Amino acid sequence: MNTVTEPAVVEVRELRKDYGRFQLGPLDLDLPAGYVTGLVGENGAGKTTLLKAMLGLVRPDAGSVRQVGDGQARPGLDLGGVGVVFDHLVVIPEWTVSQAGAAVAPFCPSWDAGLFAELLTRFGVVSGARVGTLSRGEGSKLSLALALARRPRLLILDEPTSGLDPGARYDVIDVFAEFMAADDQHAILFSTHIASDLDRIADHLRVLVDGRLVESGPLPEVLERHAMVRGPSSALPASARAAVRGLRDVGGTFDGLIATQDTAQFGPEVLIEPASIDDIVVRLSHPAERSRA
Amino acid sequence: MSRVLRFTQLDLRVQQATLKTTLAVGALLALLTWVTAPLPPLIVAVFTFAAAIVAVEPFRADERGRLDALYAVLPVRRAQVVGGRYLTMLGIQLLFAAIGVLLAFAAAAVKGVPMDASLAGLILSAGFALNALILAVETPVLFRVGYARARWVMFTPVLVIAALGALANLSGVNLTQFALSLRAAAWAPALLPVGGLAVLALSALASTRLYAGRDL
């Protein structure tokens, strides 16, 4: 499922990776230029595998990843223009923070040492500190500084705010916003399970369930396509049960996710509310009915 | 600077981080061989053999720092990572050989015994060739599965030496006589390292293929 109409910076087509017990795809994914695309899904949905396949860390069994630029699409990602933040640090613990920067810099033609130092100061990460002594949050900030100092056009982020306290998360989201504002060709793919981060910054949303994209589009449109219903079980007509995704029918009341176009199937006793990103992810991930008398 | 050399530079930066430990082990090794080696050229042998063990250290660092993921997101191809890593291992070999030779000469001078330069040269050449053989077997496995899943490969030096010994025994070759004949052969000091390099080159090709197919 892919409803993007804006020009893409990255095109993923028919991507598939089979691990036996888990299969990613086949899926198509476009990352629109100038936008932040949120990738959400429960643990094990395949978010990290998808990012790794896009980056070439895992070899897909089928499909293609192409980077689009100057009107041309080239196979693979041009890693010179991509900044990546994993949910773990990828530098050795014995290095100091500044040594980590010095190790990465020679590979990156656009490396901006001034920006690296500025970001460390802004994030409160001491450049002389040993990487092994950093807290998880400081490690995330270091990863981010390393990625941004490469002056990338595309940022690929795997849980970049995990381990950060709410204040630090706000600061990091501000940095992403500044990155996007700097150039209308910049793009971010932001994989996370913290929906509130996406509420603040995402323009597009992709929902991954069991290795497949089940929802995709501009965030406001995705939210508009769904609604939450809740009410007394007696007000849930049998004919409408099939329309409710992730139906919970417990203790005489029910709730679940519906497509907005199905609201007419429910009577006045049923409360219909806007769905949140969390609602969509949870209910689409567990579409089967859960009932208890 | 080519990306292969840049990668070697990165590899050495990583090794530099654990330099204190390496130096401490090296110093201990130097002290032990200084005291116990009956002939100074044997110091060269010990250091040459130690190089085979230390040369795979970069793979341990890869796992500790999850550096394979770092390499994968830098603008450096996997084949260049492999090339750079082999250069690093070669560099470690040369460094240890140089230290061994220097120590051997120093020990000979201090102890007042003659330094058999031709024996030291032969040990150097044969040691390099043997190490090359050991690393040629180990390295593709390390590239394919990583250090943690390839711990068994650390027994390769012992296995290779044991296998060569067994092979010699089965084929009726007297190893002492063989070593002496090598010493007498003028070609040995030059050809053994060339053979070692050829084996390493083949190993690098295998590593490139295996690392290319590895999921990180």
Minimal-distance CA residue of chain A relative to B9: A103
Averaged over B22-50, what is the pLDDT? Answer: 80
Query: Looking at residue A291, what is its pLDDT?
Result: 65
**Tell me, what CATH number does A158's domain have?**
3.40.50.300
Cβ within 8 Å, pair B215-A80: no
* Residues A203 and A263 both lie in one domain: no
The dihedrals phi and psi of A181, each to the nearest 5 degrees, come to -70, -20
Q: Count of domains in chain A?
A: 2
Q: A112 lies in a domain?
A: yes
pLDDT in tens, A120-164: 999 999 999 999 999 888 888 999 999 999 999 999 999 888 778
Tell me, yes or no, if B19 comes closer than 8 A to chain A by beta carbon.
no
* pLDDT top residue among A141 and B179: A141
Minimal-distance CA residue of chain A relative to B67: A90
Asked if residue A12 has pLDDT above 90, the reply is yes
pLDDT in tens, A254-266: 999 999 998 888 8
CA distance A55 to chain B (A): 7
Q: Which of B70, B144, B211 is most worth mutating to test chain A (most A CB atoms within 10 A of its CB)?
A: B70
Minimal-distance CA residue of chain B relative to A110: B75
Query: Looking at residue B64, what is its pLDDT?
Result: 87
Chain A residues with CB under 8 Å of B21 CB are none
Q: What percent of chain A has pLDDT over 70?
A: 96
* Residues A172 and A44 both lie in one domain: yes
Q: Where are the domains of chain B?
A: 3-212
Q: Residue A165 carries which side chain, given as an amino acid letter? A: D
Tell me, yes or no, if B64 comes closer than 8 A to chain A by beta carbon.
yes
Asked if residue A1 has pLDDT above 60, the reply is no
Q: How many CB atoms lie within 10 A of CB A44?
A: 12
Tell me, yes or no, if B76 comes closer than 8 A to chain A by beta carbon.
yes
Contact criterion met (CB below 8 Å) for A148 and A108: no
Q: A19 lies in a domain?
A: yes
The confidence band for A171, taking pLDDT boundaries of 50, 70 and 90, is confident
CA distance B76 to chain A (A): 8
Chain B residues with CB under 8 Å of A95 CB are 17
* Residues A107 and A170 both lie in one domain: yes
Averaged over B196-200, what is the pLDDT? Answer: 93
Asked if residue B26 has pLDDT above 60, the reply is yes
Query: Looking at residue B207, what is its pLDDT?
Result: 96
First-last CA distance in chain B: 27
The confidence band for B159, taking pLDDT boundaries of 50, 70 and 90, is confident
Contact criterion met (CB below 8 Å) for A212 and A27: yes
CA distance A96 to chain B (A): 9
Q: What percent of chain A has pLDDT over 90?
A: 57
pLDDT in tens, B38-75: 778 888 888 888 888 888 889 988 988 889 999 998 98
* Residues A97 and A13 both lie in one domain: yes
Of B63, B60, B210, the C-alpha closest to B136 is B210
* CB half-sphere exposure, A45, CA atoms < 13 A: 23
Q: Which two tokens stand for residue A219?
A: 């965030």
Q: A3 lies in a domain?
A: no
Q: Which of B20, B21, B73, B81 is most worth mutating to test chain A (most A CB atoms within 10 A of its CB)?
A: B73
Asked if residue B1 has pLDDT above 70, the reply is no
* Residues A84 and A206 both lie in one domain: yes
Contact criterion met (CB below 8 Å) for A195 and A281: yes
Instruction: State the average pLDDT for chain B.
Output: 85
* Residues A31 and A79 both lie in one domain: yes
Option in B10, B66, B76 nearest A88 (CB): B66
Query: Looking at residue B113, what is its pLDDT?
Result: 83
The β-bridge relationship of strands A62-69 and A8-18 is antiparallel
Q: A219 lies in a domain?
A: no
* Residues A205 and A257 both lie in one domain: no
- Beta-bridged to residue A227, according to DSSP, are A258, A274
Q: What percent of chain B has pLDDT over 90?
A: 28
* Residues A129 and A271 both lie in one domain: no
Helix, strand or coil, per DSSP, at residue B165: helix
* Residues A198 and A72 both lie in one domain: yes
Cβ within 8 Å, pair B70-A106: no
Which residues span the domain enclosing A244? 226-292
Q: A264 lies in a domain?
A: yes
Cβ within 8 Å, pair B70-A90: yes
Contact criterion met (CB below 8 Å) for A25 and A212: yes
Contact criterion met (CB below 8 Å) for A169 and A250: no
Chain A residues with CB under 8 Å of B70 CB are 90-91, 104
Asked if residue B184 has pLDDT above 70, the reply is no
Least confident of A145-154, B8-17, B76-85: B8-17
* Residues A154 and A21 both lie in one domain: yes
Query: Looking at residue B51, what is its pLDDT?
Result: 86
Option in A79, A95, A106 nearest B73 (CB): A79
Q: What percent of chain B has pLDDT over 70?
A: 94
Q: A216 lies in a domain?
A: no
Query: Looking at residue A99, what is its pLDDT?
Result: 93
* Residues A94 and A162 both lie in one domain: yes
The confidence band for A15, taking pLDDT boundaries of 50, 70 and 90, is very high
Averaged over B144-159, what is the pLDDT? Answer: 82
ipTM for the whole complex: 0.81
Least confident of A98-107, B12-21, B154-163, B200-209: B154-163
Instruction: State the average pLDDT for chain A.
Output: 89
The confidence band for A176, taking pLDDT boundaries of 50, 70 and 90, is very high
Query: Looking at residue B158, what is its pLDDT?
Result: 75
pLDDT in tens, A87-100: 888 999 999 999 99
* pLDDT top residue among B165 and A179: A179
Max mean pLDDT range (A179-188, A263-272, B53-62, B156-165)? A179-188
Contact criterion met (CB below 8 Å) for A290 and A247: yes
Averaged over A191-200, what is the pLDDT? Answer: 86
Among residues A210, A235, A259, the one where a domain terminates is A210
Q: A2 lies in a domain?
A: no
Q: A276 lies in a domain?
A: yes
pLDDT in tens, B93-135: 998 889 888 888 888 888 888 888 888 888 888 888 888 988 9
Cβ within 8 Å, pair A94-B17: yes
Q: Which two tokens stand for residue B107?
A: 């020990």
Query: Looking at residue A22, what is its pLDDT?
Result: 93
Query: Looking at residue A147, what is its pLDDT?
Result: 95
Query: Looking at residue B183, what is its pLDDT?
Result: 66
Asked if residue A292 has pLDDT above 70, the reply is no
* Residues A185 and A259 both lie in one domain: no
B41-54 and B156-170 helices, crossing angle to 10°: 120
